[in-house]
Amino acid sequence: MLLGEIVIIILNFAGALALFLFGMKLMSEGLQKIAGDKMRAILGKITDNPLRGILTGTVVTTAIQSSSATTVMVVSFVNAGLLSLAGAIAVIMGANIGTTVTAWIITLFGLGESSSAFSLPMTLGAISMIFTFSKKDKLKSIGEFIIGLALLLVGMNFLQQAMPNLEEYPKFLETLATLSNYGFWSILIFTVIGALLTCLVQASAAMMAITLVMCYKGWIGFDVAVALVMGQNIGTTITANLAAMVANTAGKKAARAHLVFNVIGVIITLVVFRPVMDLIAHITTNMVGANPYLPVSAEGYSPEAIPMALSLFHTFFNVVNTLILVWFIPQIIKIVNWMVKTLPEDEEETFRLKFISGGWMNTAELNMESARKEIENFSKRMLRMYTFLPSLRTAKDDEEFDRVMQRIEKYEDISDHMEAEIAKFLTKISEGDLSKEGSQRISSMLRIVDNLESIGDAIYQIAMTRKNKREMAVHFDDEQNANLQHMTDLVQRALDVMDTNLKTDYNKIDLDAAYDAERAINQYRDQLRTRHVDALKLGIYNYAIGSAYSGLFALYEKLGDYVINVSEAIDNSKKVENNN
């Protein structure tokens, strides 16, 4: 084979695969936009009931056509403490079942000479729908889904055309034949190959498509195809594990559980490999009238037999393994607890983005959910930073005071980094295809993170004022300390309301409670200011004490302004959603 021929084959194959993946992406994005927040809300309400978790994982993955997206969301929910490890494992089991739908779409509609025959009419109808209903996001998203499906089918057709006739390349056939002639060891070899290729491609659907085309073309036999599929089930876990690299220990455990479940499933299947293959072959023969074990040259051979058998196996593999392993979730948890050790609290408090590093998904809608979870985490850190302030007043010695100051300084540095990284991530999302609602939500989130960082700055300024007061040996009397403590409590209430609103559905936030908390802070600030002016006139305390005292309650009020800005930004997003 000439070098030029090899290059042409590789380029044609790569182009066909790219078209297939682009169609898959459009189809997945369209479905996710249609679903909106519903899929994320469903995942967020999962209990520890294994059956409900499996059904949820199956339905969500079937709807969004991406098991990787589902598992990354599951990792983020476990990371945030919104989903237990047991519940996550059940959802992941269901996601494995839901992902088999892709293989059936390809088998039933994407193979054969007429696989793309109706793709152009579908595309024409979808484009007409998008232009006609361009202002209606749901109908536009339906059109995108249809175009994605059409491109997927066209991509499959091109993949088939890009596959060269192996009869012209006997050496390659000999290599495949040699690797296939080691009996059970061949199964293990191709399982490893399937896992490695899926890790490299980072798309199990693409590897399944390639495997199905190779079956259809007669490149590989039934046993080899099944081994590749088992390997793909292991290789596809790499996405969730990459997303969990920067997650906390709970998120890492969820990702490892995905790997453990699929590896155990492959081991179980290998133990009963021959009986399972015979069962699938028997069912396929009854369905299409051809045995998938028949070679290309044998009488009665049908090119549809192996792809049909492979789709049956893919479904059988995931369903049966789920039915078996669902009873062993506690044991899987023990394994992942052994694999991932819990980190000390000090190490958990270092700067680490939990949801948006290493877990980039190919749809803006799901990336927005990752950003939202990161914003909730940002808020949690700022509330924790605020709780350090009282310790500055009650510190018994300079060593204790300095230790608290160091923690506040560390959190202030963390807040700067989080604001910069989240804003960069949101900006990247905004460059994608977003609905009007999505664009407004990005704008609101940018405003939120800016104010959360300002909250961190205000807390740091309060701490520095306390430090300067201590260095200047300025002391407050009991009434001043009591007044500042009451102001501290009022701001704490406002922070709690803000944090609750960030964790709540944006359509259901309690803005009235946020304004009540803000009014209470402003009114009390006004009272303290009036008393402070009177105290200075009466000479109750000197200028140094008065300056430090008024500076502190003014900073607390300023902090409260940033807090109400966060809830107002959420409400702005809510108003746009309601207008749509």
Q: Is residue 348 part of a domain?
A: no
| Shared domain check, 323 and 422 | no
What is the model's pLDDT at position 281?
Answer: 86
| Shared domain check, 335 and 460 | no
The CA-to-CA distance between both ends of the chain, in Å, stands at 59
Q: Which two tokens stand for residue 199?
A: 């890790």
What is the model's pLDDT at position 580?
Answer: 43
**Nearest CA-CA partner of 318 in 54, 27, 546:** 54
Cα–Cα distance measured from residue 234 to residue 192, given in angstroms and rounded to the nearest whole number: 9
Phi and psi at residue 290, to the nearest 5°: -145, 140
Those residues with Cβ within 8 angstroms of residue 560's Cβ, 6 or more apart along the chain or in another chain: 490, 491, 494, 517, 518, 521, 522
Q: Domains in the chain: how many in total? A: 2
C-alpha distances in Å from residue 110, one per residue of 67, 107, 156:
20, 6, 6
Those residues with Cβ within 8 angstroms of residue 92's Cβ, 6 or more apart along the chain or in another chain: 57, 70, 71, 74, 254, 257, 258, 261
Those residues with Cβ within 8 angstroms of residue 360's Cβ, 6 or more apart along the chain or in another chain: 367
Those residues with Cβ within 8 angstroms of residue 91's Cβ, 6 or more apart along the chain or in another chain: 43, 46, 53, 54, 56, 57, 60, 70, 74, 83
Q: Is residue 19 part of a domain?
A: yes
Last residue of some domain: 307, 323, 339? Answer: 339
* Count, residues in the chain: 580
| Shared domain check, 303 and 384 | no
| Shared domain check, 537 and 433 | yes
What is the model's pLDDT at position 145?
Answer: 67
**Nearest CA-CA partner of 493 in 549, 556, 407, 411:** 556
Q: Which two tokens stand for residue 505?
A: 């559905």
Q: Is residue 349 part of a domain?
A: no
| Shared domain check, 335 and 215 | yes
| Shared domain check, 103 and 53 | yes
DSSP secondary structure code for residue 82 in this structure: S
Q: Is residue 346 part of a domain?
A: no
Q: What is the largest CA-CA distance in the chain?
A: 110
Q: Is residue 50 part of a domain?
A: yes
Last residue of some domain: 339, 373, 405? Answer: 339
Tokens 């005071």 found at: 401
What is the model's pLDDT at position 293?
Answer: 78
Question: On the CB side of 362, how many CA atoms lie within 13 Å of its CA?
Answer: 19
| Shared domain check, 282 and 143 | yes
Residues 336 and 255: beta-carbon distance below 8 Å = no
Tokens 């664009």 found at: 439
Q: Is residue 284 part of a domain?
A: yes
DSSP secondary structure code for residue 183 in this structure: T
| Shared domain check, 235 and 299 | yes
Spell out the per-residue pLDDT of the chain, length 580, in tens: 556 666 776 677 677 667 666 766 666 566 556 555 555 555 555 555 778 888 877 877 776 556 666 666 676 666 655 567 788 888 888 888 887 877 777 666 655 554 455 555 555 555 655 555 555 566 666 777 677 666 766 665 666 566 555 445 555 545 655 666 777 788 888 888 888 877 766 666 667 777 777 777 777 778 888 888 888 888 877 766 765 665 567 667 877 888 898 899 899 988 888 898 889 888 888 887 778 877 666 677 677 777 788 888 888 888 998 999 888 888 988 998 888 876 554 444 455 666 665 444 545 666 777 788 889 889 999 999 999 999 988 888 889 999 999 989 989 988 888 898 899 888 888 876 666 777 888 889 999 999 999 999 999 999 999 999 888 888 888 899 999 999 999 999 999 999 999 988 777 788 899 999 999 999 999 999 999 888 888 888 888 888 989 999 999 999 999 999 999 998 875 554 444 4
- Enclosing domain of residue 448: 363-579
E-strand stretches of 176-252 = none
- Got the DSSP string for 487-522? HHHHHHHHHHHHHHHHHS-GGG--HHHHHHHHHHHH
Cα–Cα distance measured from residue 60 to residue 37, given in angstroms and rounded to the nearest whole number: 12
**Nearest CA-CA partner of 431 in 368, 380, 494, 350:** 368
Q: Is residue 345 part of a domain?
A: no
Count CB neighbours of 383 within 10 A: 15
Q: Is residue 351 part of a domain?
A: no
CATH number for the domain spanning 445: value is 1.20.58.220
| Shared domain check, 271 and 391 | no
What is the model's pLDDT at position 64?
Answer: 59
| Shared domain check, 130 and 71 | yes
| Shared domain check, 432 and 288 | no
| Shared domain check, 443 and 301 | no
Q: Which two tokens stand for residue 53?
A: 């978790």
